[in-house]
Amino acid sequence: MAPMYSTDTPITHEHRGMLLTLARDSIREGFETGRALTVEPAQWPEVLQRNGASFVTLKRPDDSLRGCIGTLEARQPLVTDVAEHAHAAAFRDPRFQPLAAHELEEVHLELSILSRPEPLPVASEAELLAALQPGEDGLILEDGVHRGTFLPAVWESLPEPVDFVRQLKRKAGLPSDYWSPSLTIKRYRTESFGEDER
């Protein structure tokens, strides 16, 4: 089994730049071939070869969302994960039309590399709200077929824990006041960076 990327050992500024360039190159490949860029992990720095879970976000010039796709589980090399999710965020986010060629130079990209999600054992919404660390925690809620996640970046638009949790329930297809013993909750952290930080 391949070693997993850990946010305990943050990637360097140089590696961040490499991943952002890779993400944009994969979108360009999508315009040319209809597929994500094929990546050879062995040709990349060792830390980027490790299995990693990523989200790729596209933002318009006004900072509004243009696409966001990712995964919560590290199942493939980080470079492969980023290339595939960049392509998917541009062309397969069901909330948006596929990216048009003229938009490519307008959008800016942001990457979030996830830590391994850890169970958050709480017995009530009040306990959950008390345990959360706003601005830091990403959250996964799951109950049966219902599942949703908010990246830590969502705290910027939902800074109050009660709003963060209740909107996430709605995203998962649950009532905002829902609570059940069968509800499972996990939290994670991200290492996030974007092209505007270069």
CA distance linking residue 42 with residue 108, whole number of Å = 27
Find, among 144, 186, 146, the residue nearest to 170 by Cα. Answer: 146
The pLDDT, as a whole number, for residue 1 is 40
Q: Which CATH superfamily is domain 13-115 in?
A: Hypothetical protein ph0010; domain 1 (3.30.700.20)
CATH 3.30.1490.150 segments of the chain = 118-190
The pLDDT, as a whole number, for residue 196 is 80
C-alpha angle 20-70-34 in degrees, rounded to nearest 5 = 70
Non-local CB neighbours of 110 within 8 Å, separated by 6+ positions = 56, 57, 59, 153, 192, 193, 194, 195
- Partners of 59 in the β-ladder: 65, 108
The pLDDT, as a whole number, for residue 198 is 57
pLDDT exceeds 50 at position 2: no
CATH 3.30.700.20 segments of the chain = 13-115
Q: What is the mean pLDDT of residues 129-147?
A: 96
Class of the domain covering 118-190? alpha beta
CA distance linking residue 194 with residue 48, whole number of Å = 17
pLDDT exceeds 70 at position 9: no
Q: What is the mean pLDDT of residues 160-184?
A: 96
CA distance linking residue 116 with residue 148, whole number of Å = 16
Give the mean pLDDT of the chain.
93
pLDDT exceeds 80 at position 25: yes
The pLDDT, as a whole number, for residue 17 is 96
| SS3 of residue 173 by DSSP | coil
- Span 105-133, pLDDT tens digits: 999 999 999 999 999 999 999 999 999 99
The pLDDT, as a whole number, for residue 129 is 97
Alpha-carbon Rg for the chain in angstroms: 17
pLDDT exceeds 80 at position 62: yes
DSSP 27-60: HHHHHHHSSPPP--GGGS-HHHHSB-EEEEEEE-
Name the residue with tokens 């270069």: 198
Give pTM, 2 decimals.
0.86
pLDDT exceeds 90 at position 169: yes
